[in-house]
Structure 1
Amino acid sequence: MELTDEQLAGQPVGYWTGEAHAAVIAFINAEQGRLGVTQRHWMTLNRLAIVDGGLTREGLAEALGRYMTPQIGDVSTYGVVLDDLVDRGWITPGPDGRLTLTEAGHAGRARLLAIAPGVRDRIHEGIPDEEYVLALKVLRRMIANVSG
């Protein structure tokens, strides 16, 4: 059912941002799933790629925990993702417990980076950059309005 602009103006933003989040994350997970990983794997590989010396399990959970949602996966089960990445040989723990990317981990991340433009293109299909920027500006303003 197509809503009029007047009807849309009365819609709850919380509902629609939740729906958008769930749909986008489901799509991203499905695309990354073709490579046998989830968004939490991707987030972990990215974080470790930019941190010299690696991070502990606790450090990773702290750094990424705020991004984990029910759709992405709860931080309480994050250890399973880390165990999987260790088992794959994509990350390795050092003697100090810090996890770092291996060559295989860098290669896995590169495969994920290669699909990222196509994932973004699909999500942004039919949406000019100007509309996308405007949507983000409105959402940022709403966040500022309620963050007091």
Structure 2
Amino acid sequence: MAKDSKNLGPEAEDAVGEAMVELCKEDPRFLGYAKAETSDRLDRDGIDGLIFIRGGFVLPLQVRSTRRKIHKFKTIHPLVRFVLVIRKAVRNEDALDKNNQIRYRGTLDYIKRQIKEFVYRATRDAAKDFLPCLPAGRPVPVKNP
């Protein structure tokens, strides 16, 4: 029998963690991934993990197994602007693999591609938020105090 939706969240988070380990080995733009422990401060703030990327940036990540209740989540946790949805296959006997686990709708490569798109959207939108603050013309380098 297929697992219920309550069990899909941790599986989706584990799949993202597995994909992040591979991405960090393959792509120099990805420096690391820290998974939030259950009931720690990050988890209470609606963050499942942190993605460390080149340039010293850290992106908070919320992983969902479905799009259900995303609006409610964003109302409770407005600081988490981006949510990564890792969908599973249809929940029936045909969707189970040989270990009786629900298969991912896509492969690990598909999940890595979703993570890359997630990082691209997050950094692009963050840059748009700061561009109006920059002076016209060339960007001016900032010296550390």
Please indicate the TM-score interval, normalised by the length of the shorter structure: under 0.3
**TM-score, length-scaled by structure 2:** 0.26
Q: Larger strand proportion, structure 1 or 2?
A: 2
Alignment TM-score, normalising by the size of structure 1: 0.26
**Which has a greater percent of helix?**
1
